Amino acid sequence: MNLRKELTNFLNLCFIFSGAFMFWKGLSIITNSESPIVVVLSGSMEPAFHRGDVLFLWNKNKYNNIGDIVVYEVEHRQIPIVHRVLREHKNRKGEQFLLTKGDNNNGNDIPLYAPGKKYLQKSTDILGTVKGFLPQVGYVTIWVSENKNNAYLFYGLMAIAALFFNN
Amino acid sequence: MFSLNQRFQTVINAAITYAIFIIFLIITLFHFQLYVENNITETVKVNNLNIIKPILNLRTSRMFGGSGKFPKENLRIKFDLNTDLSPLFTWNTKQVFVYLTGAYNSTSTSSSEVTFWDKIITDKKNADLDLHAVMGKYSVWDKQNGFSNKDLQLKLHWNIQPFVGNLIFGEAVMSNSGDILHIPAKEQKTNGTA
Amino acid sequence: MSFSEWLQELSNKMIFPIDLPSQKYTNRVTHKLLFLSSIISVVLGIIYDSMKTLLYFYGASVLICLILVVPAYPSYNENKLKWVERGSNGKSNNLGKSNIEIAG
C-alpha cells in the first residue's frame, strides 16, 4: 500500500478527464456548436448515415444552403435530429427559415417540429451543419448507453484496466 | 516496450495513428480523383432539362402549408431530365444525392430555394440518368405567397456522401438556356379534397 | 495479505518482460509493418475499387503485428542483462552497485 502512488494515479486520471473536457469545449468554441461531434442514432438518413456513424459539425455559417445536412434540436425532445434541408427562405431581416426531411422518410419534418411550428430558424434551432463523416466508430457509445448491463461491463473493464496498467 | 501492457499499447497506438494516416490518404486521393481526373466542376452537365408543365393547386391541409381558412398554392412540376453523374463515382463514393431545385425572389438580401425532386444513387451503373415525363416528388408551397407570375431559376445540385471524409456539394452545369421557368398566373381551379 | 498487496503481486506477474535488443526490434517491427501495410492497403483499395478490401487488409496486418510483438516469446529473452550476483563478501556487492549507477 503506497498512498503517494495511489494519489498520483488518481491525479493522472483527473488529468485525462480534464484534458478530454478541454478538448471538447475548445472544439465547441472553434465550431460554434454545442456538440461539434455527434453519433447518429436513427436510420432516417439511410443509406447515407447509419446508426453509429460519427458526424463532424460546423456552425459558423450564417446561412445554410439547400441540400445541406443539418442537426437540429426540437423543444421537449432530448435527442437531436440529423436531416437534410429541403427548402430555404431568407427574408429581408436576414433570418433564414428551413424545412427539413430525412432522406429515408416519406414526408417532410413538420410533424416532428414543435406544435404550430412550420419552419426551423437557422439562428436558433440549428446545432450545426454536417461537414465530415466517419463510419461506425461511434457504435461503442450506442452499445454502452442503450443497455445498463453493457454500461456496467464497460466501466468495470475500464476500472480493471486502470488498476492493472497504471504505469 | 518492456512489459506486455506497454507492447500492447504501443501496437494499438501505432495502429490508430496509421489508420488516421490512411484516412488522410483516402481523402487526398478522393479529391484528386474528383477534381483532377474526373474534373467534376465541368464534366457533370445537364444535357437536357425540359419542364413539361408546372401544376398549380390550392391545398388547405397543414401538411401542404395551408390552414382551414387560408389555402396555399402548391406547385409541382413534370419534367424530362438527361444527365450523366458517373464522374462523381469514385472508390470512396458511398452515394450521390441529386436534387432539382428552383430559386426565386432573389434580391441582394432575401431569397428562396425549394426542392422539387431528388434521388439517391448508390451505384455507378445507375448514374446515367435519362428520365422522361417524371412527376416531381414534392408538392411545394412558398412561405409567403404563391408561385403565380414568378420566374424560377432551376438548378440541379448534387451531393457526394463518402465512405469516410468530408461531404462534397456541387451544381451540374446547365447546357441550354432553358433553365428559367416562368409560372403562369394561377388558374381558377381549386382542389377541394386537398 | 491485503487486497492491494495481492493486486500488486498479480500485476507484477503480468509484466512478461523482454530484453533490450528485442524491445528495440519490436518497436521497429511495429512501425515498419504498420506503415507499409497502410500504404499497401490503400493501393489494394484503389486497385479493387473497394473500401472493404482496404479495411480487411489493414485489420489483418494489425492482428499479425499484435501476434508478432505482444507475447514474450523465448527468443525475445535471449540477451538478458547479466546482473552481478549478490556475493558473500562486500567487494562484489560494491561492484554491483557501481554497475547500476553506470547503467542508469
Q: How high is the ipTM of this complex?
A: 0.85
In the predicted structure, residue B137 carries a pLDDT above the cut 80: yes
Considering the domain boundaries, does residue B53 fall inside one? yes
Selecting from C51, C58, C70 the residue whose C-beta is nearest the C-beta of B4 gives C70
Q: How many CB atoms neighbour CB A2 within 10 A?
A: 10
Task: Tell whether B166 and B146 lie within a shared domain.
Answer: yes
pLDDT tens, position by position, A59-107: 999 999 999 999 998 887 788 899 999 999 998 888 999 999 999 888 8
Q: Are B104 and B120 contained in the same domain?
A: yes
- Regarding whether B100 and B9 lie in a shared domain, the answer is no
Residue C10 has pLDDT above 90, yes or no: no
* pLDDT of C101 strictly over 50: no
- Do B64 and B156 lie in a common domain? yes
User: CA–CA distance from C9 to each of A3, B5, B75 (Å)?
Assistant: 17, 16, 77
Range of the domain at B32: 1-37
Assign B104 to helix, strand or coil. strand
Q: Give the Cα separation of C42 and C64 in Å (integer).
A: 18
Is residue B140 helix, strand or coil?
Answer: strand
Please give the grid coordinates belonging to residue B22. 490512411
B190 in a structural domain: no
Q: What integer is the mean pLDDT of B108-137? A: 91
Q: Is C31 on the interface with B (CB under 8 A)?
A: yes
Q: How many separate domains does chain B show?
A: 2
Among this protein's residues, is A44 annotated catalytic?
Answer: yes
Q: Is A90 on the interface with B (CB under 8 A)?
A: yes
Query: For residue B174, which of B121, B102, B120 has the smallest C-alpha distance?
Result: B102
Instruction: Kindly give, in sequence order, each residue whose CB lies less than 8 Å from that of residue A7, ignoring residues fewer than 6 positions away.
Output: none
Residues B149 and B69 grouped into a single domain: yes
Q: How far is C3 from chain B (nearest CA, A)?
A: 22
DSSP per-residue string spanning C23-80: HHHHHHHHHHHHHHHHHHHHHHHHHTT-HHHHHHHHHHHHHHHHHHHSS--GGGGTT-
Task: Render the burial of C49-83: b for 16+ CB within 10 Å, e for the rest.
Answer: eebebbbebbeebbeebbeebbebeeebeeeeeee
Domain that holds residue C87: 3-103
For residues B147 and B186, the model is more confident at B147
Q: Is B6 a residue whose pLDDT tops 90?
A: no
Catalytic residue among A33, A44, A53, A125: A44
- CB under 8 Å to A45, separation ≥6 — which residues? A69, A82, A83, A84, A102, A103, A104
* Domain assignment of residue B57, yes or no: yes
What's the pLDDT tens digit per position in A109-119?
Answer: 888 888 888 89
**Cβ within 8 Å, pair A164-C4:** no
What CA–CA distance (Å, rounded) separates B172 from B154? 11
Residue B112 touches chain A, beta carbons under 8 Å: yes
Report the percentage of chain C scoring pLDDT > 70.
Answer: 82
- My answer on whether B92 and B169 are in the same domain is yes
- pTM over cut 0.90: no
A67 and B65 within 8 Å at the Cβ level: the answer is no
Q: At what angle do helices C51-69 and C20-47 cross, to 10 degrees?
A: 170
B1 neighbors C27 (Cβ within 8 angstroms): yes
Predicted confidence (pLDDT) per residue in B63-94, tens digit: 787 777 788 888 999 999 999 999 999 999 99
User: Is residue B89, in this structure, part of any structural domain at all?
Assistant: yes
Tell me, yes or no, whether B78 and B16 share the same domain: no
- Residue B63, number of CB atoms within 10 A of its CB: 12
Shortest Cα distance, chain B CAs vs residue A102, angstroms: 12
The three cell numbers locating residue C95: 561492484
In a domain, B187, yes or no: no
Question: Are B52 and B141 members of one domain?
Answer: yes
Q: Is A133 on the interface with B (CB under 8 A)?
A: yes
Task: Give catalytic status of residue A109 as yes or no.
Answer: yes
Contact indicator for A56, A132 with CB cutoff of 8 Å: yes
Q: What domain count does chain C have?
A: 1
Question: Residue B189: inside a domain, yes or no?
Answer: no
Q: Which of B29, B32, B90, B91 has the most C C-beta neighbours within 10 Å, making it the best mutation to test the interface with C?
A: B91
Beta strands A120-121 and A37-39 are: unpaired
Q: Are residues B53 and B20 in the same domain?
A: no
Of the candidates A33, A53, A83, A125, the residue annotated as catalytic is: A83
Determine the Cα–Cα distance for residues B34 and B41; give it in Å rounded to an integer: 9
Query: Per the domain annotation, does B97 fall within a domain?
Result: yes
pLDDT at res. C102: 46
Q: Mark whether B78 and B12 lie in a shared domain.
A: no
